[in-house]
Amino acid sequence: MTHPVVPAIVNLDVPGPVISRHLYGHFAEHLGRCVYGGFYVGEDSDLPNAGGIRLDVVAALRALDIPNLRWPGGCFADEYHWMDGIGPKEQRPSMVNTHWGNVEENNHFGTHEFMELCELLGAEPYISGNVGSGTVREMSDWVEYLTRDGDSPMVRLRRANGRERPWRVRFWGLGNEAWGCGGHMRAEQYAAEARRYGTYCRDHGGNTLYRIAAGANGADYAWTETLMKQLGDLGCAYRPAPFMQALSFHYYTIPGTWQDKGAATVFDTGDHYRTMVQAARVDELITGHSNVMDCYDPGRNVGLVLDEWGTWWNVEPGTNPGFLHQQNTMRDALVASVHFDVFHRHAGRLVMANIAQTVNVLQAMILTDPDTGALVLTPTYHVFEMNKGHQDAASLRVDLPAGTPERAVGDARLATVSMSASRKDGRALFSLSNLDADEPAEVELDLRGGALTEVSARILTAGRLQDHNTPDAPEAVAPRPYEVAATRAGLRVHLPARSFVTVTGRLAGSDT
Ligand code: AHR
């Protein structure tokens, strides 16, 4: 039986922009069971924990080399008042989490607990400050509390709460979705707010903030243009304008409507292809925002951050609609692998991306059972793990002289084979996805400018796109060792239908 053959040319000796490890970033919101019951189970839990932080969750995420963690939201960030989350837990005031389930938030997981979590994970904190319902002073004090050394009111408060040394916090979000839950602002209005907030979020001592302005919804390029015009002035070398170092945008993969997004595990092949078309659209969006930014910032000093991405399905039947709890299948894994290929291609402008969200919410890495506590790694987790060698690697361009197989999906065309490559520390890593539900494909990798030795491969695939992991079948979708064939020009990689394959090898004669 013949399969479509996809020729792919990679020049191993022509490194492109470095793929920031922060493209593999994460997101933990006070939403459903992400923080409470996910990351944080409390000191009294029977589950092994450190100060209430669940240790098997930490261990699983450390295996991904997670580079950063965004917190406390999301929409929650713009109603979070950080001072409610410090000091003795029994004295912390409660609030209502109006965005997510109208549940009571007791503030037991606050600033110190989050910074402790980041230290356990070995991840950089990315804090989203409150612009929507907070004040400039409140945000400015938070930065001082976290990052200032010496003596000051906020430093004394931090020390009274048990932390002597300042933390290092680089990534700082100036609000979230200011066009929506973050205050329903117009772009001009938000830009003016962000100039004020950005000004008073100070760099204390040796801590230099990387301020990220709350950006566009999907393809709202006008929002990006307004921020570039009104916040993008960088000043000059001796007096830099410190308002923002990056701007963000959010894009979720939703093949249905907001009212009926589709079920995570119950879908047909048509739904699958519509999902893949929506996932691949992230390329168009990053290109669009980058093009606008290039007009105002051709030197690429301002970073683009996609700090919320992933699939968003209807919640699992019987769960709280405000908790956004969803299953995760082989289809979700392919959504992730396609996103990463796109991210790698845009490494010159895209500096960070955060999947929404890490535990128990939306396209999670980890699902935990609310009754038994059982922990399951999702198919998406495995894509992050198989791809982690791309972090901080030099991207390698993949040329497809004959294109890839395609499918017509409504008015759109879906390229069903997706690829990216990189090199780091004398090794090359190739990621290859076959999005086709039924047809295998063969990729003929023509490797130029070098050769590979010690080649090994792994595959993530499933009998059905709907397959997923559960406490009873935790490895239903898990990576397995795989064989690829050496050819005169390079490698031949057989891609079964609905599969994700990574291939790595040592670059002969190279130590970089
Ligand atoms: O990730 C869930 C929500 O999606 C976030 O709180 C919000 O920023 C976005 O609309």
Q: Supply the residue whose CA is at minimum distance from atom 2 of ligand 1.
A: 74
Beta bridge partners of 375: 368
Query: In which residue are the tokens 């198989």 written?
Result: 386
CA–CA gap between residue 80 and residue 350 (Å, rounded): 28
Interval between CA 22 and ligand 1 midpoint (Å): 19
Q: Supply the residue whose CA is at minimum distance from atom 6 of ligand 1.
A: 74
Marked catalytic residue, from 79, 113, 124, 177:
177
Interval between CA 72 and ligand 1 midpoint (Å): 11
CA–CA gap between residue 503 and residue 67 (Å, rounded): 22
Q: Supply the residue whose CA is at minimum distance from atom 7 of ligand 1.
A: 74
Of 181, 326, 359, the residue with max ligand 1 atoms within 8 A of its CB, to mutate for a pocket test, comes to 181
Q: Supply the residue whose CA is at minimum distance from atom 1 of ligand 1.
A: 356
Percentages (nearest 5) of helix, strand, coil residues in the chain: 25, 30, 45
**Cis ω before 16 (30° cut-off from 0):** no
H-state helical runs in 236-362: 269-280, 282-296, 330-345
CA–CA gap between residue 179 and residue 500 (Å, rounded): 36
Residue 276 half-sphere exposure toward CB, CA atoms < 13 A: 31
Q: Which atom of ligand 1 is nearest to the CA of 77?
A: 6
Q: Is the pLDDT score of 259 beyond 90?
A: yes
User: Once rounded to an integer, what is the mean pLDDT over residues 422-433?
Assistant: 98
CA–CA gap between residue 355 and residue 353 (Å, rounded): 7
Task: State the pLDDT at residue 487.
Answer: 95
Q: Is the pLDDT score of 119 beyond 70?
A: yes
CA–CA gap between residue 248 and residue 178 (Å, rounded): 11
Marked catalytic residue, from 105, 113, 308, 385:
308
**Cis ω before 357 (30° cut-off from 0):** yes
Please list, residue by residue across 445-460, b when 16 or more beta carbons sit within 10 angstroms of its beta carbon and e when fewer do: bbbeebebeebebbbb
pTM of the model: 0.97
- pLDDT tens profile 447-460: 999 999 999 999 99
- pLDDT tens profile 40-54: 999 999 999 999 999
Task: State the pLDDT at residue 510.
Answer: 62
* Binding-site residues, ligand 1, Cβ < 6 A: 29, 73-75, 176-177, 308, 356-357, 362
CA–CA gap between residue 336 and residue 343 (Å, rounded): 10
Nearest to 459 by CA among 417, 497, 404, 506: 497
- CATH 1.20.1370.20 is the classification of domain 5-13+395-508: no
Q: Is the pLDDT score of 511 beyond 60?
A: no
Q: Which atom of ligand 1 is nearest to the CA of 176?
A: 8
Q: What does the angle CA 105 – CA 110 – CA 112 come to, to the nearest 5 degrees?
A: 165
Of 69, 128, 176, 251, the residue with max ligand 1 atoms within 8 A of its CB, to mutate for a pocket test, comes to 176
Q: Supply the residue whose CA is at minimum distance from atom 3 of ligand 1.
A: 74
Catalytic annotation on 177?
yes
Give whole-number Cα distances, 419 to 7, 39, 220, in Å: 11, 33, 27
Nearest to 444 by CA among 397, 491, 485: 491
Interval between CA 31 and ligand 1 midpoint (Å): 9
Of 26, 29, 362, the residue with max ligand 1 atoms within 8 A of its CB, to mutate for a pocket test, comes to 29
Q: Which atom of ligand 1 is nearest to the CA of 177?
A: 8
Interval between CA 482 and ligand 1 midpoint (Å): 37
Catalytic annotation on 79?
no
Residue type (1 letter), 365: M
Q: DSSP for 275-300, please give it.
A: HHHHHHTHHHHHHHHHHHHHHH-TT-
Instruction: Look up residue 448 and give its two tokens.
Output: 């130029």
**Cis ω before 72 (30° cut-off from 0):** yes
Interval between CA 352 and ligand 1 midpoint (Å): 17
Query: Quick check: helix, strand or coil at residue 360?
Result: coil
Interval between CA 99 and ligand 1 midpoint (Å): 9
Instruction: Look up residue 491 and give its two tokens.
Output: 């490698």
Interval between CA 126 and ligand 1 midpoint (Å): 15
Instruction: Look up residue 477 and give its two tokens.
Output: 């979708």
Please report which confidence band the pLDDT of residue 3 belongs to, taking 50, 70 and 90 as the band edges.
confident
Q: What percent of the chain has pLDDT over 90?
A: 95
Domain segments of the chain as ranges = 5-13+395-508, 14-394
Q: Which atom of ligand 1 is nearest to the CA of 27?
A: 1
Instruction: Look up residue 152 and give its two tokens.
Output: 């000051």
Query: Quick check: helix, strand or coil at residue 167?
Result: coil
Interval between CA 77 and ligand 1 midpoint (Å): 10
Q: DSSP for 187-242, please give it.
A: HHHHHHHHHHHHHHS---TT---EEEEEEEETT-HHHHHHHHHHH---EETTEE--
Instruction: Look up residue 341 and give its two tokens.
Output: 């290929």
Please report which confidence band the pLDDT of residue 4 belongs to, taking 50, 70 and 90 as the band edges.
confident
Residue type (1 letter), 445: L
Q: Which atom of ligand 1 is nearest to the CA of 73?
A: 6
Instruction: Look up residue 55 and give its two tokens.
Output: 């240790």
> 3-class secondary structure for 388-409?
HHHCCCEEEEEECCCCCCEEEE
Interval between CA 309 and ligand 1 midpoint (Å): 9
Q: Is the pLDDT score of 97 beyond 80?
A: yes
Task: Give domain 14-394's CATH superfamily.
Answer: Glycosidases (3.20.20.80)
Query: Quick check: helix, strand or coil at residue 148?
Result: coil
Q: Is the pLDDT score of 302 beyond 70?
A: yes
Contacts of residue 385, defined as CB under 8 A and 6 or more positions apart, other chains included, come to 63, 64, 479
Task: State the pLDDT at residue 509.
Answer: 74
Q: Supply the residue whose CA is at minimum distance from atom 9 of ligand 1.
A: 74
Q: Are β-strands 246-253 and 239-240 bridged in parallel, bridged antiparallel, or unpaired?
A: unpaired
Residue 482 backbone dihedrals phi, psi, to 5 degrees: -140, 160
Beta bridge partners of 432: 419, 501
Other beta carbons less than 10 A from residue 280's beta carbon:
22
- pLDDT tens profile 354-387: 999 999 999 999 999 999 999 999 999 999 999 9
- pLDDT tens profile 51-78: 999 999 999 999 999 999 999 999 999 9
Q: Are β-strands 95-97 and 53-54 bridged in parallel, bridged antiparallel, or unpaired?
A: unpaired
Q: Which atom of ligand 1 is nearest to the CA of 99?
A: 6
* Torsional class of 218: left (φ above 0), alpha (ψ -120 to 50), beta (otherwise): left
Q: Which atom of ligand 1 is nearest to the CA of 100?
A: 6
Listing from the earlier edge strand, what are the strands of the sheet with 452-461?
480-482, 452-461, 499-507, 427-434, 417-424, 394-399, 5-18, 441-448, 490-495, 485-486
Nearest to 216 by CA among 258, 254, 176: 176
Identify the helix (H) or strand (E) that includes residue 310.
strand 303-311
Query: In which residue are the tokens 């600033």 written?
Result: 111
Average pLDDT, the chain: 96
Long-range (24+ apart) CB contacts under 8 A made by 219-223 are 219/284, 219/285, 219/288, 220/179, 220/249, 221/288, 221/289, 221/292, 222/187, 223/179, 223/187, 223/249
Please report which confidence band the pLDDT of residue 304 belongs to, taking 50, 70 and 90 as the band edges.
very high
